Amino acid sequence: MKAAGIHIVFILRRCRPRVMEALLRQGLSDLADSELRFGARTDGQSQLLGLEMADAQESSYLALRIMKSLAGDYLTLPMEQAPRKFWEMLFPLPWRPDVESNARQRGLDPFLMAGLIRQESEFNPQAVSRAKAYGLTQIRPATGRQFARKAGVPKFTTRILSQPAANLKIGSSILRSMLDQQGGKLEQTLAAYNAGPERVVQWMSWNTYREPAEFVESIPFTETRDYVQAVLRNAEMYRRLYQ
């Protein structure tokens, strides 16, 4: 019985990447996550398993999801202790020319744009939030329609927000507008992108903040506070990897 059990685990190890790929392709992400966790427990080499399975994916966002599930507390890992491919899968940059050209056209840091997209959609162009925000930069249709023409997208539809080229044009235009509204203050802009400009106006009225970090720590919404810190952290990682 023991030998049979070992044999079954060996078969699972060999087949798991194909099983995972099939589950993800069918949209069965919950089952895929369970398979990942089972593989990590039985194989005992979760990071290596993550790299193998992530490398087999056709899309960056599926690879990223796998890596985040299996790479453990990768944020505490010094960059030099893992291969570059490990970090590129955790911080992918698909559509890099469009990300960079739209950011620079609007005077934005392209690495900040990449960090924001990673936090918003994990680079899934088909992502739809519970609030019905769409695409890479998670744009609501009403906001998208408001900015589309100015951003160079004359014929706006909700469906077009799932097209990376159009989404990046509109999303970078929205971010530029918010940055201008917040007087160029990055932390406030990111808080506004996540929670809405009206809430940031309210929070700023509560106190006089001497440092950006002081404002971030005062944000009453944990989700927004974590979001601002995560986007800034992402941007720095992208800068170190791709600059």
Question: Is pLDDT of 14 > 50?
Answer: no
pLDDT tens-digit map of 166-219: 999 999 999 999 999 999 999 999 999 999 999 999 999 999 999 999 999 999
The domain spans of the chain are 2-90, 96-242
pLDDT tens-digit map of 49-95: 677 778 778 899 999 998 998 887 899 999 998 889 999 999 999 99
Give dist(CA 74, CA 50) in Å, integer.
12
Amino acid at 63: A
Give dist(CA 49, CA 27) in Å, integer.
21
Tell me the two tokens of residue 16: 């798991």
Higher pLDDT, 34 or 156: 156
Class of the CATH-defined domain 96-242 = mainly alpha
Q: How confident is the model at residue 9 (pLDDT cuts 50, 70, 90)?
A: very low
Token pair 């392709």 is found at: 25
DSSP 74: G
**pLDDT score, position 231:** 98
Give dist(CA 55, CA 45) in Å, integer.
16
Give dist(CA 95, CA 100) in Å, integer.
9
Which of 80, 120, 211, 217 is the catalytic position? Answer: 120
**pLDDT score, position 5:** 33
Active site annotation includes 120: yes
Give dist(CA 11, CA 132) in Å, integer.
42
For the chain, the maximum distance between any two Cα atoms, rounded to a whole number of angstroms, is 69
**pLDDT score, position 125:** 98
3-state secondary structure of 128: strand
Model-level pTM? Answer: 0.82
pLDDT tens-digit map of 115-129: 999 999 999 999 999
Q: Give the containing element (helix H, strand E) for 229.
A: helix 222-242
What does the pLDDT average to over 154-174?
A: 97
